[in-house]
């Protein structure tokens, strides 16, 4: 049975001294267990990789995107099957001879804002598994300010689950002329981006060095890290970036935009790609 991204619930609305019965729509939040099946010298292995709280939908893309942005797989060619053996679970099976970079899971230690690890250590951990910033075959992407300022409206007009719930994150992928290519929503901002990158991976669009990523909220270190893994050169956020996100964007030669609202925005790094 397909899991829905929203549910209806009975509530009481208070307005001044008046209380009335009403019905509200909530974004569903459920755990998703991601497992990896592969063979090594010990034989067949089935490893629990992660349990993440997410909004149901695009679960296979989420699992693929997570494995890619964590550096565990490098290409969809490594994958032989993606299955959902039960509700709230996805298993990704690698082709024979493919060895996952399981040790890269240790990098998760650096990705929480409360970990207390210094910024340089966090960025160094990312750099061990990212493609070098100057190794992409093309870095001529530029975007003018008018096009950039038009993107939040395009994202907002397509946020179907947000329209119902008002409580969900979104990210969108645009080409250099402002065409919306992909959009994903989730209660977790990192899940929304993993879903988007997983979809791009399936469509063989990676690396995304000719594209623009728009985030509906703030730009955290983890989101910039995932964008860097996918080769994205321009990241724009409606909200604020964190200090470590800005440091990583600078280190990776990425353009980072924050507070993209109306006709205004801040450039935190990579101003050479913005044409005024």
Active site residue 115: yes
Determine which one of 39, 58, 115, 130 is catalytic.
115
CB neighbours of residue 150 within 10 Å: 13
Q: Which residues are catalytic?
A: 115
């Amino acid at each position: 049975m397909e899991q829905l991204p929203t549910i209806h619930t009975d509530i009481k609305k208070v307005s001044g001294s008046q209380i009335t019965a009403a019905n509200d729509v909530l974004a569903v939040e459920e755990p998703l267990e991601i497992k990896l099946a592969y063979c090594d010298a010990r034989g067949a292995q089935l490893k629990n990789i992660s349990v993440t709280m997410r909004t149901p939908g695009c679960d296979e893309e989420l699992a693929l995107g997570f494995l890619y942005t964590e550096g565990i797989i490098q290409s969809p060619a490594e994958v032989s099957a993606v299955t959902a053996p039960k509700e709230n679970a996805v298993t990704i099976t690698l082709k024979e001879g493919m060895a996952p970079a399981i040790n890269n899971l240790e990098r998760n230690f650096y990705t929480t804002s409360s970990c207390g690890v210094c910024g340089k250590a966090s960025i160094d951990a990312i750099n061990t598994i990212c493609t070098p910033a100057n190794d992409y075959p093309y870095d001529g992407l530029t975007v003018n300010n008018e096009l950039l300022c038009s993107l939040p409206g395009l994202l907002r007009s397509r946020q179907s689950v947000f329209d119902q719930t008002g409580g969900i994150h979104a990210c969108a992928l645009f080409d250099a002329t402002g065409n919306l290519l992909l959009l994903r929503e989730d209660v977790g901002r990192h899940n929304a981006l993993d879903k988007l990158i997983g979809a791009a991976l399936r469509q063989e669009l990676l690396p995304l060095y000719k594209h623009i990523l728009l985030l509906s909220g703030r730009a955290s270190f983890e989101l910039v890290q995932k964008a860097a893994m996918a080769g994205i050169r321009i990241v724009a956020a409606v909200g604020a970036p964190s200090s470590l996100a800005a440091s990583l964007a600078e280190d990776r030669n990425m353009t980072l935009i924050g507070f993209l609202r109306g006709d205004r925005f801040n450039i935190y790094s990579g101003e050479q790609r913005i044409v005024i």
